[in-house]
């Protein structure tokens, strides 16, 4: 098969390399997808910086999100996939349970070859038809962040119409999807950010209001603004952790839930007394099952939701794209054109 370009990580903390690799032919149950667009996630940035456990599996091709066309399959029964535009379900070996993954599950892109490449050879079980009518870059931006947000909101968070949601750190891909999905589900969304500009952008996108997470006591103040003295938020989606959990617990109503999916500010510092006196549920989440992914695609398609694209870079400029992410000033997804 023809070779393809790929962005390779040889060692965490060292520059990336644009190389040409032989495309591996598909084995039984596999497909070769010629990729057109890929997207960035913070996982890629941490791999590049050597701050993610899986970076020890290098050399490898980065990237978990992608859109492309199926070029070949390894089994006759899968030939109907050839020529179709697909997005890739990025959780490998999740297993049969929707409740939690099997112990050996992993995310596409290190240690497995990822999507920052001209092609990827992948199990057919990871293929899903791209939403009809979407731009290729929109389809590429959806999978990992969209899946993570959808599972956090609905399977783990139990979000329902009429509930009040708090999304911390608006601006990143997961938070942007959470805002879109929550509004489409009939929930009321409020946000936090370290930037007044991002708060204004979120309000323009449908958030009811927000607060700077740098302000002292922002949690209780935002709860009062949103709901009155005795109110609070039903659910919070957080990816930061750290000292911010004190204000999140202050913002949640009694019996509320905190669903967290990251720790960019370090381990969450739980205010124990506030949490247990208010009967707060604290639930972890990461990625999602194939059923979660199918539900997310259906929801996004039926509600005509489109990813927010911050910027697009050529594959060869992956380092510049990562620098954009590292600045923390983006709103929405950063995409690579292949």
At 105-145, the pLDDT tens digits run 999 998 999 999 999 999 999 999 999 999 999 999 999 99
Report the relative pairing of strands 252-260 and 233-238 from DSSP bridges. parallel
Q: Are residues 315 and 218 in the same domain?
A: no
- The contacts of residue 255 (CB under 8 Å, 6+ apart) are 278, 279, 280, 281
Range of the domain at 252: 147-284
Which distant-in-sequence residues (6+ apart) come within 8 Å of 97 by Cβ? 289
Reported pTM: 0.95
Buried b (16+ CB within 10 A) or exposed e, 311-334: ebbebebbeebbebbeeeebbbbb
Query: What CA–CA distance (Å, rounded) separates 289 from 295?
Result: 10
Together in a domain, 157 and 277: yes
Do the Cβ atoms of 331 and 174 come closer than 8 Å?
A: no
Q: C-alpha distances in angstroms, 162 versus 41, 102, 189, 318?
A: 31, 34, 10, 41
CATH number at residue 206: 3.40.50.720
Quick check: 332 and 307 in contact, CB under 8 A?
yes
Same-domain pairing of 193 and 273: yes
Whether 109 is covered by a domain: the verdict is: yes
pLDDT of residue 230: 64
Residue 244 three-state SS: helix
pLDDT at 329: 85
Same domain? 208 vs 231: yes
Whether residues 74 and 170 share a domain: the answer is no
pLDDT at 55 over 70: no
Q: Is 41 left (phi over 0), alpha (psi -120 to 50) or beta?
A: beta
- Together in a domain, 117 and 225: no
Instruction: Read off the pLDDT band of 267 (50, 70, 90).
Output: confident
Q: Is the pLDDT of residue 54 over 90?
A: no
DSSP SS3 for 205: coil
Q: What CATH number has the domain bearing residue 324?
A: 3.90.180.10
User: If we measure between CA atoms, which residue out of 215, 324, 334, 318 comes closest to residue 8?
Assistant: 318
Whether residue 109 sits in one domain with residue 157: no
pLDDT of residue 319: 97
Buried b / exposed e along 258-295 (16+ C-beta atoms within 10 A)? bbbbbeebeebebbeebbeebebebeebbbbbbebbeb
Cβ-contact 4, 20 below 8 angstroms: yes
Query: For 76-101, b where at least 16 C-beta lie within 10 A, e where not — what string?
Result: eebeebeeebbbbbbbbebeeeeeeb
Within this chain, do residues 124 and 152 fall inside the same structural domain, yes or no?
no
| pLDDT for position 264 | 80
Tell me the pLDDT band of 147, cut-offs 50, 70 and 90.
very high
| Within-domain flag for 47 | yes
Q: Are residues 44 and 97 in the same domain?
A: yes
H or E element at residue 106: strand 106-107
Residues with Cβ within 8 Å of residue 276, at least 6 apart in sequence: none
pLDDT, one tens digit per residue, over 8-21 is 999 888 999 999 99
pLDDT bin (cut points 50, 70, 90) of residue 263 is confident
Quick check: is 188 in a domain?
Answer: yes
On the CB side of 48, CA atoms within 13 Å amount to 22
The answer to the question of residue 9 being in a domain is yes
Residues 213 and 317 grouped into a single domain = no
Has residue 67 been placed in a domain? yes
Is residue 298 assigned to a domain? no
Q: Indicate if 171 and 57 belong to the same structural domain.
A: no
Is residue 289 situated within a structural domain? no
How far is Cα 100 from Cα 98, in angstroms, rounded to an integer? 6
294 falls within a domain: no
Q: What CA–CA distance (Å, rounded) separates 315 from 313?
A: 6
Q: How many domains is the chain built from?
A: 2
Looking at the fold, whether 133 and 52 belong to one and the same domain comes out as yes
CB 149 within 8 A of CB 307: no
């Amino acid at each position: 098969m023809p070779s393809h370009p790929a962005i390779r990580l040889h060692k965490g903390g060292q520059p990336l390399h644009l190389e040409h690799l032989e495309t591996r032919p598909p084995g039984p149950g596999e497909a070769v997808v010629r990729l057109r667009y890929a997207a960035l996630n913070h996982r890629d940035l941490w791999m590049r910086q050597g701050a993610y456990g899986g970076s020890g599996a290098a050399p490898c091709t980065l990237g978990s999100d992608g859109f492309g066309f199926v070029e070949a399959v390894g089994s006759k029964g899968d030939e109907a996939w050839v020529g179709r535009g697909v997005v890739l379900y990025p959780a490998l070996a999740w297993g049969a349970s929707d409740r939690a993954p099997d112990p050996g599950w992993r995310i596409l892109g290190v240690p497995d070859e990822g999507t920052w490449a001209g092609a990827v050879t992948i199990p057919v079980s990871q293929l899903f038809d791209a939403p009809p009518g979407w731009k290729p870059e929109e389809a590429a931006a959806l999978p990992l962040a969209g899946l993570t947000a959808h599972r956090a909101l609905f399977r783990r968070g139990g979000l329902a119409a009429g509930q009040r949601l708090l999304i911390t750190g608006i601006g990143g891909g997961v938070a942007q999807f959470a805002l879109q999905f929550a509004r489409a589900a009939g929930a009321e969304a409020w946000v936090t950010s370290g930037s007044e500009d991002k708060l204004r952008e979120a309000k323009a996108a449908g958030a009811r209001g927000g607060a700077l997470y740098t302000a002292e006591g922002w949690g209780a103040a935002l709860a009062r603004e949103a709901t009155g003295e005795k109110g609070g938020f039903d659910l919070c989606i957080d990816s930061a952790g750290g000292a911010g959990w004190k204000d999140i617990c202050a913002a949640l109503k009694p019996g509320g839930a905190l669903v967290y999916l990251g720790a960019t500010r370090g381990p969450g510092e739980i205010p124990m007394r506030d949490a247990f006196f208010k009967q707060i549920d604290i639930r972890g989440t990461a990625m999602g099952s194939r059923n979660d992914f199918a539900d997310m695609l259906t929801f996004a398609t039926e509600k005509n939701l489109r990813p927010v694209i911050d910027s697009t870079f050529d594959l060869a400029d992956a380092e510049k794209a990562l620098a954009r992410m590292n600045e923390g000033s983006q709103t929405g997804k950063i995409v690579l054109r292949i």
